[in-house]
Structure 1
């Protein structure tokens, strides 16, 4: 997979975490340490779920049946549509902020990474390449989340930013899915 494709996937996947991080950052009661823990959670689960998805996709393609890129593109496009639907249903509401939510929110913004890992990262031949690609996805999510928390300090009055991040991420995944199908 090319660096540009991997970066595009990482940015699209991190936009869920970006939207949640902006929403959390807009809350005046959330402390700096909580923001760091949320960003670490988002980055770790993006890495972990995309790694699990990539290995599950490799095992599925090796031992059960090969999934052609057309099917992978369709699945990624469907994930993009689901992200847009989630953004529509979210209506800009901020998730409940509790210390126990680090794991729950980290996992919830990373479910799509497992699907993308299953379909887009399964054809990588070496384990080291899979690990570095998924680690890259996690690091990009960590950086995007930290940036969202910094940005939220300046955007406390604009609540629409977090609401539209799901739409943008969904559109990017749909475009990438269509690229996999037709190119």
Structure 2
């Protein structure tokens, strides 16, 4: 898996964090750089850490399921993508205005659970995990910071669209992995 594919996955994974960052920006009366940095750091760190954790779990089973690893990657990415699209239609517009660790850590964990599953798929693919988690973490950091500003300026207008886009991206990447392993692409 190359840089571009990992970057695309990173963008797809970061859409949940982007949506929450939009919400945080919307709830902030006087936006400061520290608000964007807090979101970027929390979401970026957990989006980078969770794939590593998933990868470490996945390599425990790699030898046992190598013949169907492409199906597992496809199913996990498709399920994550479908779930993101489904969540985009749910009407959760309340935002907590705090940026404290007791608020940010649960949000960061919740938005990075998908990244854990993606990390499991990385164990079955030819991926340099340290490059992958660096790309995902940095992508999420940047996108989350932008989300805070966008939320502050535009409000909730882009939250659902971001989740739909993220879901579609992950489904497409899962399909690409499957088709490549089946030698259709």
TM-score by length of 2: 0.86
Match of 1:3 in 2: 3
Which residue of 1 is the match for residue 119 of structure 2?
117
Q: Distance in 2 between matches of 1:29 and 1:60?
A: 48
2:150 is equivalent to residue 162 of structure 1: no
CA RMSD of aligned residues (A): 1.9
Partner of 2:138: 139
**1:13 offset after TM fit, Å?**
0.4
Gaps of 5+ in 1: none
Consecutive unaligned residues in structure 2, runs of 5 or more:
181-185
The CA deviation at 1:31 is 5.0
For 1:1-183, what aligned pairs fall within 5 Å after superposition? Answer: 1-29=1-29, 31-32=31-32, 33-62=34-63, 64-66=64-66, 67-89=68-90, 91-98=91-98, 99=100, 100-124=102-126, 129-156=128-155, 159-183=156-180
Aligned residues, how many? 176
Q: Distance in 1 between matches of 2:178 and 2:95?
A: 35
Q: TM-score, normalised by structure 1?
A: 0.87
* 2:27–2:96 contact (8 Å) kept in structure 1: no
Report the alpha carbon displacement of residue 152 of structure 1 after superposing the two structures with TM: 2.8
